[in-house]
Amino acid sequence: MNARAPFPGRINAPERLAPLDRAARHIDTHLFKALTLQQKLGAGLSTLGELGDVHYGVTDKEEVWRDGKVVLYRFKGPRAPTAKVPILICYALVNRPYMVDLQDDRSLVKNLLALGEDVYLIDWGYTDRADRFLTLEDYIERFVGGAVDHLRAAHRLDAINLLGICQGGAFSLSYAALHPDKVKNLITMVTPVDFHTDDNMLSNWTRGLDIDLFVDTLGNVPADLMNLCYLTLKPWRLFVQKYVGMVDILDDRKAMEDFLRMEQWIFDSPDQAGEAFRQFIKQYYQGNGFVNGGIEIGGRAVDLGFVDMPVLNIYAEQDHLVPPSASKPLGGLIGSEDYSEVSFRGGHIGIYVSGRAQKEVPGAIHDWLARRAK
């Protein structure tokens, strides 16, 4: 006997239950998420209770030179370096330089040492009110220059290799332009050169800043204020998203250690010496001095045309602080005929600490230097 067709207008039982099934599944999904969150939070209490102090700077180092608060360190690897010319790393002033040696599996320094390089680093220390009137001449000629001269004397060399990072790259470019005879090879990483590109939000903010009023009012620039400015460049990602995402790793001790180590680095920032900050904003950011001219250090003009040594420029493709468009003009401004670029698929911080960076960046630096070692 043939089954009768449903009575017109009547809803079959499965069709009546379908919305209820969907609602039940929806409730089950949310209950599962709520239970998972509860478990993560419970595990987090245990994880955070077990974590002690978060350590950074894993590679052994020794102080070899000092000028006031500024210290020059030499890193010590498991074996003696094979490179004949040392590398001096010049980091930015706005953060602590241990980003290049953050932890055992995320260390530019450790990887360079493993390749046979002889690595030194300038540690700027923490500024206080006594440093209010330090100028760019102090930082570039006295501190960078003092470290360079110490290494030249210690290694009995006319010139050394200089690696500048971010603002430290701008310092290194300026020093190399003023003293090209003392720099054998120059490497710049995520370094701003053209400060007036349209996609550089940080630069656009600073162009309208009354820097004289700012520094005259504050003296030294507080680190907390600087950090707030950087965080507001990506407010959703840096104020909300990363802390919501942290819940997913609360039960993973290693991941939490990594997260807290990064947080410590981000907020462990020195204040900025007022006068040097004023000069840097005026001459580099507002005046775009590398492109337009107008940078003076100790009464001497900085002209990138005098940068005639080999230059390797490494930039990050997703860098929101120093976009590629701000770094890449370097090749057309320097006097060197030996200019190379390396692009890294990552951001301003990922270029030091990501897994890809550990594989790509130290090797690129070492290989480039090795080809120019003769």
**Catalytic annotation, residues:** 166
* DSSP helix/strand/coil, 179: coil
**Beta strand pairing call for 160-165 and 87-90:** parallel
Percentages helix, strand, coil for the chain (3-state, rounded to 5) are: 50, 15, 35
Distance CA 78, CA 111 (A): 11
Instruction: Report the Cα 147 to chain-centroid distance in Å.
Output: 22
Distance CA 198, CA 211 (A): 21
Distance CA 345, CA 367 (A): 19
Q: Alpha helices of 75-166 — where are they, by DSSP H? A: 108-114, 136-137, 145-155
Are 336 and 187 in contact by the 8 Å Cβ rule? The answer is no
What residues contact residue 163 under an 8 Å CB cut-off, 6+ apart?
87, 88, 89, 90, 172, 187, 188, 189, 365
For Cα atoms 174, 306, 67, give the angle at the middle one, nearest 5 degrees.
35
Number of neighbouring beta carbons within 10 Å of residue 114 = 14
- Compute CA distances 323 → 207, 264, 281, 317, whole Å: 17, 25, 18, 7
Are 354 and 219 in contact by the 8 Å Cβ rule? The answer is no
